[in-house]
Amino acid sequence: MKNLIKKLTEAFGPSGYEKKVRKLIYDEIKNYVDSTKTDKLGNLITHIKGKGIKVMFAAHMDEIGVVTSYIDKNGFIRFSNVGGFFPVHSLTARVIFANGSVGVIGEEQRKTMSDPIEMKKLYIDIGARNKKEAEKLVPIGSFGCYQRKFQDMGQRITSKAFDDRIGCAVLIEAAKRLKQKVKNDTYFVFTTQEEVGLKGARTSAFDVAPDIALAIDVTGTGDTPDAKKMAVELGGGAAIKVKDRGIVCDPRIVDALISTAKKNNIPYQLEVLERGTTDATAIQLTKGGVPAGAISIPTRYVHSASEVLDTDDVDAAVRLIVAFLKKDRSSIID
């Protein structure tokens, strides 16, 4: 599975520019589902036919990034954020644009080192010698994302864009292990523009009209030096979301996930996330309402160029989804 994760995370795909990621996912999953379609906002909706209730799983294809907004006479490029771009993670990181141009993120001289690192003081150095050269390489309105190679650290791995290519990889792997044998009418949806407001999830859920829905995404951890108190850690298993900033997960779904994990000896932990949310929040409020929840992969340094996670947690999430779909889930909404 590491090869698949490498391919997915190294692909270019800031919000609105998910095409390359979608193609990779389509090629990987097409033989393990009954049908696929791409909707008007670019969501890839795949269907594994089954009797019973409609269950939708969603993982987003887009990643955070930058968009260029101004070029000065010396060719330095100012930019705006695409989603939750953290200036503190970005200094001297490289960004790549759709045409392959690469730039380095620099910062105006700070007066004192204790001054905050602010977005408006950052610029991209594309290696241009003047405005004209820069404009040619990276015109205003160019979208970019971090450029960083996947690195296998053994049990743990690091890369950009685990948020949420790891969710995409988990669904692909689950589809492969399920071999189209499900006890629920199953949709695996790969959504667009999550990082800029859960947009693809909203429209694809309207179209699919699921009975219940689950997002697969990353969550933060409390296991690094002096971290904020949070009972989620790398290697602790798949995180079953209870609540985050945007959603109170349906307790029937939380309970079903817990009992599925227990029955199948799948390591799990419970997640309460104070900041951030997932596609589940948008899906929950589609049409007349959809009972929703989420399974998260614990991830350190989310929204940086070097996110870190544990492959055991990835495997636990895959097993949890497979076990969940192998049992008729109609009783959840009875």
List residues near Co ion by CB under 5 A: 163
Q: Is 217 in the site for Zn ion (CB under 5 A)?
A: yes
Strand 54-60's sheet: what is its strand order? 35-38, 44-48, 185-191, 54-60, 212-219, 292-298, 238-243, 268-272
Structure tokens given for 86: 């953290």
Q: For 198, what's the count of Cα atoms within 13 Å in the CB-facing half-sphere?
A: 19
As a whole number of Å, the end-to-end CA separation of the chain is 37
- Say whether residue 62 binds Zn ion (CB under 5 A): no
Q: Does residue 307 touch Zn ion according to CB under 5 A?
A: no
Give whichever of 163 and 211 is closer to Co ion, judged by the CB atom: 163
* Residue 217 contact, options Co ion, Zn ion, none, Cβ 5-8 Å cut-off depending on partner type: Zn ion
The CB-nearest residue to Co ion is: 163
Whichever of 195 and 211 has its CB closer to Co ion, that residue is: 195
Select from 80-88, 127-135, 162-170, 200-208 the region that touches Zn ion (CB under 5 A).
162-170
Tokens 């006890």 found at:
183
* Spatial separation of the C-alpha atoms in residues 257 and 264, rounded to whole Å: 11
CB-nearer residue toward Zn ion: 163 or 307: 163
- Does 28 contact Zn ion by CB under 5 A? no
In the complex with Zn ion, the residue whose CB is nearer, 47 or 303, is 303
Angle subtended by helix axes 162-178 and 311-325, to nearest 10: 50
Site of tokens 């792997």: 173
Task: CB nearer to Zn ion: give 218 or 290.
Answer: 218
What count of other Cβ atoms lies within 10 Å of the Cβ of residue 263?
10
163 binds Zn ion per the rule CB under 5 A: yes
User: How far is Cα 77 from Cα 131, in angstroms, rounded to an integer?
Assistant: 9
The catalytically annotated residue of 28, 194, 233, 271 is 194
In the bound complex, what is the minimum distance in angstroms from residue 82's beta carbon to Co ion?
11
- Give the pair of three-digit tokens for residue 14: 């800031």
Query: Active-site residue 194, yes or no?
Result: yes
Q: What is the dihedral of CA 31, 170, 12, 278, to 10 degrees?
A: 120
Q: Which does 244 bind (CB under 5 to 8 A by kind): Zn ion, Co ion, none?
A: none
Tokens of 253: 């779904």
**In the bound complex, what is the minimum distance in angstroms from residue 60's beta carbon to Co ion?**
8
Options 79-87, 127-135, 161-169, 246-254: segment touching Zn ion (CB under 5 A): 161-169
| Residues with a known catalytic role | 194
Site residues (vs Zn ion, CB under 5 A): 163-164, 217
